[in-house]
Amino acid sequence: MPAPLPSPAPLPAPAAPPAGGADLPACSRSVPYTARTHGYDTFRIPAVVRSGRGTLLAFAEGRRSSASDTGSIDVVLRRSTDGGCTWGPLTVVAAGRGDTRGNPAPVVDPRTGQIVLVTSYNSGAVTEGQIMRGEVTAAQGRRVFVQRSGDDGRSFSVPREITADVKRPRWRWYATGPGHAVALTRGRHAGRLVVPANHSAAPAAGSTDNGQEPKYYGGHVLYSDDHGHTWHIGFVDDTYDGVHNANESSAAQLPDGRLYVNARDQHGVAVGNRLDSHSSDGGRTLDRPFAVQPTLDDVPVVAAGVLQQSGPRGALLFSGPSVPTARQAMSLWRSRDGGVSFSRAVTLSQDRAGYSDLVEAGAGLVGVLYETGAAGTYERIEWRKVAV
């Protein structure tokens, strides 16, 4: 993933709606991951799903030596069977063993009840910059794996590589999610599992570029029509012109069956930090190229979450920090028009805040799993349950 923004100096509180949570039941807040515990320096990159049995599965990257994106990193999991009040023991789902495993993208298959988890890998000895510049071997570079659980997340199969099916030869960097993937439940593609992802491409022959320029980032999805056993590449954003540089992305299926996709813009020249589009064919193609979402201009350059609430009055929700120049003040936005426009609904805290993911938490509540801290953005990964 791209390097995070530098840790900002204290900022004045941004104008925002009141902080949420005042009228929520007990257990609306807990901390499944705290830095410098369980043998890890830092926990980052949260992803959360709710199983068919109501169990919350909170995934993260456990970074052993530092907060760096490079090095020995495991995919870890904590489960909650009481709505996020308490969390079970930390388990390692995909062990790096000195290498980097991360970018968890879990999804609950509604037809089988299994949890399918797609993750990314690279050698712990190489950096994103080296990968983007083409300075690594295929074995050292970014690779993609899938796992599954049939026992409510208590255990997972060993990672199975699917790189050859979902990564084009010209691509260098590759990242799944991060955040939950999507199981389509409506329309002719019902049952399809869709994983938002991003990549970088090699420069064209004869170019003086080295491939690390942000314009070589692009978004895409991978999908499976057989419960995660075989995988295919869906739409590919491959403009590479530097105007819109789609990066980490998330998706949700709208009530009309379309897929809404929202992506981080990694320093494209177009004004704005969020890009979006829709797909009417289950992620095979985009209805239009990615374009700036101007009603999310308060969001900095960061990964974010989206979620379509169920029910006749369910809104499309977006989670992310709400200070344009800093990772601070985690907030939720609401869209009543399928992602055409968003308005801020609630701010959870004025503390520093980074990556986030969303899940329905029952009884009209939404769960937010996000990076936060008072002095640093990655002090803990916090769980919040809010009414939106």
Domain architecture of the chain: domains with CATH: 30-387 (2.120.10.10)
Q: Report the SS3 class of residue 259.
A: strand
3 burial type by CB count under 10 A (0-12 exposed, 13-18 middle, 19+ buried): exposed
Residue 260 CA to residue 69 CA, distance in Å, equals 28
Confidence of residue 313 (pLDDT cuts 50, 70, 90): confident
Q: Once rounded to an integer, what is the mean pLDDT over residues 32-42?
A: 99
Q: Once rounded to an integer, what is the mean pLDDT over residues 61-72?
A: 98
Q: Which of 323, 314, 344 is nearest to 332 (CA)?
A: 344
The reported pLDDT for the residue numbered 107 is 99
pLDDT greater than 80 at residue 1: no
Report the share of the chain in percent with pLDDT over 90.
91
Is there a contact between 356 and 264 (Cβ–Cβ < 8 Å)?
A: no
Q: Which of 366, 324, 373 is nearest to 345 (CA)?
A: 366
Q: Once rounded to an integer, what is the mean pLDDT over residues 314-330?
A: 97
Q: What is the mean pLDDT of the chain?
A: 94
The reported pLDDT for the residue numbered 8 is 39
CB atoms within 10 A of CB 252: 25
- Position 181: which residue type? A
Is there a contact between 110 and 52 (Cβ–Cβ < 8 Å)?
A: yes
Residue 133 DSSP symbol: T
Please name every residue paired with 107 in a beta bridge, in sequence order, or none if there are none.
Answer: 116
The predicted-structure confidence for 330-366, as pLDDT tens digits, reads as follows: 999 999 999 999 999 999 999 999 999 999 998 889 9
Residue 215 DSSP symbol: G
Residue 163 DSSP symbol: H
pLDDT greater than 50 at residue 14: no
pLDDT greater than 50 at residue 205: yes
The reported pLDDT for the residue numbered 363 is 80
Confidence of residue 25 (pLDDT cuts 50, 70, 90): low
Report the share of the chain in percent with pLDDT over 70.
93
The predicted-structure confidence for 130-177, as pLDDT tens digits, reads as follows: 999 999 999 999 999 999 999 999 999 999 999 999 999 999 999 999
CB atoms within 10 A of CB 255: 14
Token representation of residue 128: 């994103």
Q: Which of 125, 119, 128 is nearest to 98 (CA)?
A: 125
Question: What is the Cα 270 distance to its own chain's centre?
Answer: 23
Dihedral angle, C-alpha 292, 296, 298, 299, nearest 10 °:
-80
The reported pLDDT for the residue numbered 2 is 56
- Position 325: which residue type? T
Token representation of residue 122: 């690279």
Residue 49 CA to residue 182 CA, distance in Å, equals 10
CA distance to 2, 101, 166, 365, per residue, from 336 (Å): 31, 37, 33, 17
Confidence of residue 26 (pLDDT cuts 50, 70, 90): low
Is there a contact between 118 and 195 (Cβ–Cβ < 8 Å)?
A: yes
Q: Once rounded to an integer, what is the mean pLDDT over residues 213-227?
A: 98
Q: Report the SS3 class of residue 166.
A: helix
- Position 239: which residue type? T
- Position 351: which residue type? D
The predicted-structure confidence for 114-132, as pLDDT tens digits, reads as follows: 999 999 999 999 999 999 9
Give φ, ψ of 78 to 5 degrees. -130, 140
Q: Once rounded to an integer, what is the mean pLDDT over residues 54-59?
A: 98
Q: Which of 93, 57, 48, 97 is nearest to 73 (CA)?
A: 97
Please name every residue paired with 368 in a beta bridge, in sequence order, or none if there are none.
Answer: 358, 384
The reported pLDDT for the residue numbered 362 is 87
The reported pLDDT for the residue numbered 214 is 98
Give φ, ψ of 215 to 5 degrees. -65, -15
The reported pLDDT for the residue numbered 156 is 99
Residue 202 CA to residue 199 CA, distance in Å, equals 10
Q: Once rounded to an integer, what is the mean pLDDT over residues 277-291?
A: 99
Q: Once rounded to an integer, what is the mean pLDDT over residues 209-234?
A: 98
